[in-house]
């Protein structure tokens, strides 16, 4: 069984979409994969309750309790390994609204099995406030990207994208909500395609 460990910081709606797809599509049978654990860097992340309701193990690692980024990422790696104990293949690590920049050491240790969803059509608008920046730039389309994580923030091979038209006069919040609805379809689909790759 291939373990999936999901990292969150907030409401966890992408995580919930992944859990829903895994359950409805019986990923343990169809893909030999299961969500083994959810880790949040914030104790108040709404997604933690959703994960617990779905019967998934959770852990909280408050980044403020660590002296350095390296120390936090080492603890993160240990918690992932704990959720993955006994597995034959190392876990797939899914960043789902995980708002921490990872150290090059962590990224290297999980290279090739670390995915992220970013709320823009990369390579446009890496970083924060993507929807407002797309509106300010006069973009007619916005969207989201699932990509492999590499050492450079919001870069790395693109695995899938969802495109959403920017409606005249709409707010960044409204656009974000419409993009998020597409993220919920995109991310489970991209994870499935990734797990089906030979040697993934
Ligand atoms: C999502 O829109 C995701 O793309 C974004 O945060 C939101 C999390 O929502 N991620 C980033 O901005 C990463 N830099 P969720 O917690 O409800 O899934």
CA distance 71 to 60: 15
- The pick from 97, 98, 121, 132 for probing ligand 1's pocket by mutation, whose C-beta has the most ligand atoms within 8 angstroms, reads 97
Q: What is the pTM of this model?
A: 0.98
Please state the atom number of ligand 1 nearest to the C-alpha of residue 96.
Answer: 18
> Could you tell me the distance, in angstroms and rounded to a whole number, from the CA of residue 179 to the centre of ligand 1?
10
118 labelled catalytic: yes
pLDDT confidence of residue 200 = 81
> Could you tell me the distance, in angstroms and rounded to a whole number, from the CA of residue 127 to the centre of ligand 1?
11
CA distance 200 to 194: 7
User: What does the pLDDT look like over 140-177, one tens digit per residue?
Assistant: 999 999 999 999 999 999 999 999 999 999 999 999 99
Percent of the chain scored above 70 by pLDDT? 100
pLDDT confidence of residue 198 = 86
> Could you tell me the distance, in angstroms and rounded to a whole number, from the CA of residue 17 to the centre of ligand 1?
12
pLDDT confidence of residue 124 = 98
Residue-range domains of the chain with CATH: 1-110 (3.40.50.170), 116-200 (3.40.50.170)
Which is it for strands 114-118 and 92-95: parallel, antiparallel or unpaired?
parallel
Is residue 199 over pLDDT 90?
A: no
Percent of the chain scored above 90 by pLDDT? 98
Instruction: Compute how many other C-beta atoms are within 10 angstroms of the C-beta atom of residue 119.
Output: 24
Please state the atom number of ligand 1 nearest to the C-alpha of residue 8.
Answer: 16
CA-CA-CA-CA torsion sign (111, 160, 55, 87): negative
- The one catalytic residue among 63, 110, 118, 155: 118
**Coil, strand or helix at 95:** strand
CA distance 198 to 200: 6
Is residue 13 over pLDDT 90?
A: yes
User: What does the pLDDT look like over 72-110, one tens digit per residue?
Assistant: 999 999 999 999 999 999 999 999 999 999 999 999 999
> Could you tell me the distance, in angstroms and rounded to a whole number, from the CA of residue 86 to the centre of ligand 1?
30
Is the CB of 10 inside a 6 Å radius of any atom of ligand 1? yes
């Amino acid at each position: 069984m291939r373990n999936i460990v999901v990292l969150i910081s907030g409401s966890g709606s992408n995580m919930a979409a992944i859990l829903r797809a895994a359950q409805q599509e019986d990923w343990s049978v169809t893909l030999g994969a299961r969500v083994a654990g959810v880790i949040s860097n914030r104790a108040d992340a709404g997604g933690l309750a959703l994960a617990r309701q779905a019967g998934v193990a959770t852990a909280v690692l408050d980044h403020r309790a660590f002296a350095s980024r390296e120390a936090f990422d080492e603890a993160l790696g240990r918690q992932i390994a704990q959720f993955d104990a006994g597995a034959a293949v190392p876990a797939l690590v899914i960043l789902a609204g995980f708002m921490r920049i990872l150290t090059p050491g962590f990224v290297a240790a999980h290279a090739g099995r670390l995915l992220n969803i970013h709320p823009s059509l990369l390579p446009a608008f890496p970083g924060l406030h993507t929807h407002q920046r797309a509106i300010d730039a006069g973009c007619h389309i916005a969207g989201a990207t699932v990509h492999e994580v590499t050492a450079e923030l919001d870069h790395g091979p693109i695995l899938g994208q969802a495109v959403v038209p920017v409606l005249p006069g709409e707010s960044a919040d409204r656009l974000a909500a419409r993009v998020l609805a597409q993220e919920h379809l995109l991310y489970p689909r991209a994870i499935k395609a990734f797990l089906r790759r030979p040697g993934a």
